[in-house]
Structure 1
Amino acid sequence: MESDKELKGNVFDFRILKRIFAFVKPYRGRFFFLVFLTIFLGALAPTQPYLIKLTIDNYIAVGNMEGLTMMVSLLFGIAVLQAIVQYFHTYLSGWLGQYIVRDIRNQLYQHIQRLRLQFFDNTPIGKLVTRVVSDTETLLEIFTNGLAAIIGDLLQLVFILGFMLIINWKLALVSLATFPIMLLATYIFKEKIKKAFSKVRNAVSNLNTFVQEHITGMNIVQIFNSEEKEYAKFKKINKEHLQANLQTVNYYSIYFPVAEVIAASATGLLVWYGARGVIQDTISLGDLIAFIMYISLFFRPLRMIADRFNTLQLGIVSSNRILNLLDNHEHIQDNGIYSPKNILGKVQFDNIWFAYKEDDYVLKDINFEVKQGETLALVGATGAGKSSVINLLSRFYEINKGQIFVDDIPLTDYNLPNLRKHIGVVLQDVFLFSDTIEQNITLGNKDISHEKVREAAEYVGALQFIEKLPGGFQYNVMERGATLSVGQRQMISFVRALVYDPKIIVLDEATSSVDTETEEMIQAAMEKLMKGRTSIVIAHRLATIQKADKILVLDKGEIKEAGTHESLLEQEGLYAQLYEVQYKSVV
């Protein structure tokens, strides 16, 4: 959950604005044109009351119909011009905002893809979804209803004030008599609504996180009959979201009527003073009517400016969140330049120490070597460190101490994409995207032909069940492969690994939760996948690794035993105990 502290920010935080406006650079021509239109609109709006003043005093008062017609035509032309300029201003600001948000989203998603898995271990997915979707959408407001609109409103106020002072400075002072009260009300509203909006953004992020996590884990919720408990939690978070939004509604409900009363008071005061001047012939009727129009024009942007400031405030907060994520450098350092076309597949772990959290080591002084084409099996209880070994080989995490070598070359010397191209990883918990089987196998790699996918599927024995599905390879497996069985998902993951033809294969053996027939099918596919490749297998069932060239028994992050199946049984140690327990459970 996010704290309100994270949501604080200064409207004119120039450090943040400078970085955000760096994204404007590719569109600076359009941006400068938008600035020009903003200034032009600010100057154009106050001209109409002034022209109406001239029309009343110079033409209507003396009965000059020809001049009246000319002035009405001029006023109409200016109104049309203002409408056209307003159209281009609105469209251009929206266009600019959308393209900039697109660029920021692209950069943000690309950056997220390069972050370490450790970052995702500690960051709720819903929070990242909020950054990429909701915060970037809020950021859009900086360009559409934020900074440009505020500058336009301020310019309009300056131009209006200038016209008012030129026409009649005494009427200008009377018109602005309630201005300090409006400023005070606007400031109070701005501060209150800023805090309320901060709570809204916080509530939105919490809501996104909760919904994403619980929909993803809905099977756990239902298995343990926790629907009512989780629903109660959701109602509480949703209520906080409601209350935060109602608070903003309440502030708006108070401010705008108050602003209307202040503006109406200014108009009333002006009419009272101005009418006396018209009767006494010290003020022209045109001046009075122009000032009534100016008051309306003056207080309208003033009322909106508080709202725009808070829109900008939200944009700054969202920008700060996005920039903090972009500034996160928890990614694997890819400084290696070694990019061999092919590798042999020899793997060596040399005095490896690794901790997910500082000094809490899950691997301690791990040493082993797997020669080209050999099979190494990792055995041990849950939490022994087996998965950590395969995570380090693919450089999903950085090592604390020691060195890993592939073909006697340090892992860090390899170009990261090249390294991972030579290592195929098949996990027990297979993840499939909501797409076709073929897309889940190729992952969009156009260099992998349909024929190659089909050959790989046939080789591991998956072709038969794939062709029985509606559409075959074009069958949509839905989110996380929900429409397929565990065994089918596992077979597709084998095909996916095979089409990339890695020289090193890492298998998290996944036969512990399938029936005997499916287990035999998966086992046969595994043997074919491992043939001719260096293989590292996490073994859940010891009967499946009896042919491994070497077996390591891990316990609490340390290698306790090493050898072949037969030699480890002869030692009558930890491996023998594990084997006996599994053998008895089968019998």
Structure 2
Amino acid sequence: MRELLSRFVAPYRVRLALGVSAKVVEVFFDLATPVIVARMIDQGVAAHDSSVVLRYALLLMGLAIVGYCFTLVCQKMAALVAQGVGTDLRDALYQKAMSLSAADVDRISTPSLVTRLTNDVNQIQVAIALGIRQLVRWPVLAVGSMVAALCIDVGLGLVFFVCIPVVGLVFWLVMSRSVPYFRVMQQRLDRVSLVCREALSGARVIRAFRRDDAERKRFREAAFAQADTAISVGRLSAVLNPSTLLIMNLGVVAILWASGHRVFEGELTQGQVIAFVNYMGQALLSVVFVANLVVVFTRGAASAQRVGEVLSCPVSLVSGSEELDADATDAAVPALELADVSFWYEGAREPAISGVSLSLGQGETLGIIGGTGSGKSTLANLVVRLYDAGAGTVRVFGHDVRTLSFGSLRRAVAIVPQQASLLSGTIRSNLSWRCPDADESALMEALEHAQAADFVLAKEGALDAPVEAGGKNFSGGQRQRLTIARALVGSPRLLILDDSASALDLATDARLREALGSLSGLSRIVISQRVSSVMGADEILVLDHGHVAGLGTHRELYSSCDLYREICLSQLSEGEVA
């Protein structure tokens, strides 16, 4: 936590210093109050001098007003520092999350990243705010109270040195058992976030399969597991306050018992005893608050460790330095080359892709087909470098993708993933992802090629029609066509369609393929479960559990590849295949 704070608190050190200084001044006034009360009792009340009482009362009022002003300054600075650090942390964490590769995100998990961005950063903010407002106050108040009490009477001060270690022992016993729970709490909160996210995103499927009760049970189990941990911590923490208050009250009793006869003999004044009791109360109450603060800081430290894990996570994919100008590339250079490419997911026993080699010329179409889990999408992800190949080389327009900058690679290569993803905003804002400066004519041209212009123009506002989160106000086929149009904006040289027309009817799919085929210079990779979508490709790659089962034209594969022939005949008649 120290390293994290030193990095993110540094820009706010002036405000931090102002807040701490204001709190120190406020504590000084608190330490002066018992002495003033003692003098009011000894010099005013004992002497029946109302003017002295009034004078000291006005002094106390003045100190309270000035202390209140310094308190406001401290609160203001604490809020500014805590909110500023929290905002910077979230921004840095979000930027880091966006720079992580797909493999890094898989390892950390999306729900855990969301929890770290929200709950963990909130815990750090609370720790910082309380640190400025309370961590300075209570330790300084405790030490100051002990020093002031010893100045009044050293003998009675021994009561402090008995009570403080006992309170410390209680504190150690409780915290040594509760600290391990805090990290478990955050991990179980990750689980709650995961279950909740899955239930909300898949609500329609859950209802369709009548899994409502099962999902409620799953969420209840995750929520109660987190609650049980929190309750266990709460039970341990609940011992702190009553124990320390009991010790404090016993200390007060000891002071009164020890000082009673000394007041009677004139060795101590009544005001000194009152001041000593006040200092005793301030010191032990400070220890109680420090104990509670340690609980907050322990949770904050656990959260800071989780945030630090993400911020310090090495990025497995680093952008190259070369720039790719696909328009200036020699036409004889293949748009895509795979040389003995293999890839393993982390923890997997078998490769998802094994020994794939092929070459796709510029302006040509490559079809990829195979069963579920055969590695089709994995291959597409390697081309746009969402993952790096474990072995072999992926080249785009003659360049190894690992040497290219992410910007130039993804300007030249556009991918339309299986899951059509739209963000809340407008149709225009979603279409402009690849090219923010694209004018209306370029957007409409992309919509026409994607067979989406008709329903977009039919909407009120056309390009400025609203898009709900996830594109929920569009059908599945409409979302797919919008994502295809988004990929076409900016004129990519290589387009990857990863089963992105699965929700389209056959007629619309055929028009889409015809429209894309009319785009000169555009190389295409079409991944599909439909034979009709790939059979017209210049070359077809057949994958079987990550291995190449066949590579060639439709006619070549139909006659030589048993798997391809089986797929064809499962979807089409022999006449249609021919």
Give matches, 1:111-510, under 5 Å: 111-146=96-131, 149-174=134-159, 177-340=162-325, 342-344=327-329, 346-357=335-346, 360-443=350-433, 446-510=436-500
**Paired AA for residue 544 in structure 1:** S
- Indicate the larger mover: 391-400 or 405-414: 405-414
- 2:554 paired with 1:569: no
The answer as to whether partners of 2:86 and 2:121 remain within 8 angstroms in 1 is yes
Secondary structure of the corresponding residue to residue 573 of structure 2: helix
1:553 paired with 2:538, answer no
Q: Is the 8 A contact 1:50 1:290 kept in 2?
A: yes
Map Cα deviations across residues 412-444 of structure 1 (whole Å, 9 max, x no partner). 221112111111111232111233222221139
Distance 1:365 1:175 in 2: 76
Aligned in 2, Cα 1:160/1:445: closer, same or farther, shift over 3 Å? farther
Q: Deviations over 1:226-247 (max 9, x none)?
A: 2222222222222223323333
Q: Deviations over 1:436-492 (max 9, x none)?
A: 222221139542234432342234331221132344333333232222112101110
For 1:534, the equivalent position in structure 2 comes to: 523
Aligned amino acid, residue 366 of structure 2? L
Q: In the alignment, residue 33 of structure 1 is paired with which amino acid?
A: L
Residue aligned with 1:497, SS: helix
Deviates more, 1:46-55 or 1:350-359: 350-359
Question: What percentage of residue pairs aligned between the two structures are identical?
Answer: 23
Query: For the structure 1 residues 342 and 49, does the alpha-carbon distance in structure 2 shift closer, same or farther, using more than 3 Å as the test?
Result: farther
SS of the counterpart of 1:356? coil
SS at match of 2:325: coil
List gaps (5 residues or longer) in structure 2: none
Q: Which residue number corresponds to residue 104 of structure 1?
A: 89
- Matched residue pairs, number? 571
Equivalent residue of 1:378, what SS?
Answer: strand
Counterpart-to-counterpart distance in 1, 2:225 and 2:396: 53
Distance 2:575 2:83 in 1: 61
C-alpha distance in 1 between matches for 2:9 and 2:546: 51
Which one-letter code corresponds to 1:172 in the other structure?
G
**Letter aligned with residue 242 of structure 1:** A
Residue 13 of structure 2: which of 28, 53, 61 is its match? 28
Deviates more, 1:277-286 or 1:505-514: 505-514
Q: Tell me the CA shift for residue 402 of structure 1.
A: 1.8
CA–CA separation in structure 1 for the residues paired with 2:574 and 2:162: 90
Q: Which moved more, 1:176-185 or 1:411-420?
A: 176-185
Structure 1 CA distance, aligned partners of 2:313 and 2:409? 24
- Alpha carbons of structure 1 residues 251 and 566: separation in structure 2 relative to 1, 3 Å: closer
The Cα RMSD (Å) is 2.6
Residue 370 of structure 2 aligns with an amino acid whose one-letter code is G
Change (3 A) 1:535 1:175: closer
Contact 2:393–2:400 under 8 Å retained in 1: yes
Structure 2 letter corresponding to 1:129: V
User: Structure 1 counterpart of 2:437, which letter?
Assistant: D
Question: How much has 1:252 moved relative to structure 2?
Answer: 4.6
Instruction: Tell me if structure 2 keeps the 8 A contact 1:147–1:312.
Output: no
How far apart, in 2, do the equivalents of 1:562 and 1:382 lie? 18
**How far off is 1:330 after superposition?**
3.8
Distance 1:242 1:406, change over 3 A: closer
Q: Counterparts of 1:551 and 1:198 in 2: how far apart (Å)?
A: 51
Q: Distance in 1 between matches of 2:161 and 2:560?
A: 96
How far apart, in 2, do the equivalents of 1:572 and 1:250 lie? 67
Alignment match, 2:42: 57
Verify the 8 A CA contact 2:74 2:132 in the aligned structure 1. no
Q: Which amino acid aligns with 2:530?
A: R
Mind listing any 5+ residue stretches in structure 1 that lack a counterpart? 1-15
Name the amino acid aligned to 2:142: L
SS for the counterpart of 1:332 is: coil
* Pair 65,444 (structure 1): closer, same or farther in 2 beyond 3 Å: farther
Q: Which moved more, 1:62-71 or 1:448-457?
A: 62-71
* Conserved 8 A contact 1:378-1:537: yes
Does the CA-based 8 Å contact 1:491-1:522 persist in structure 2? no
TM-score norm. by structure 1 comes to 0.90
* 1:131/1:54 CA distance change after superposition, 3 Å: same
> Structure 1 residues 85, 153: CA separation in 2 closer, same or farther (over 3 Å shift)?
same
Partners of 1:331 and 1:525 in 2: CA distance: 38
| Distance (whole Å) between structure 2 residues aligned to residue 43 and residue 249 of structure 1 | 33
Contact 2:188/2:222 (8 A) holds in 1: yes
Q: Return 145-154 or 396-405, whichever deviates more.
A: 145-154
Q: Give the drift of 1:129.
A: 0.9
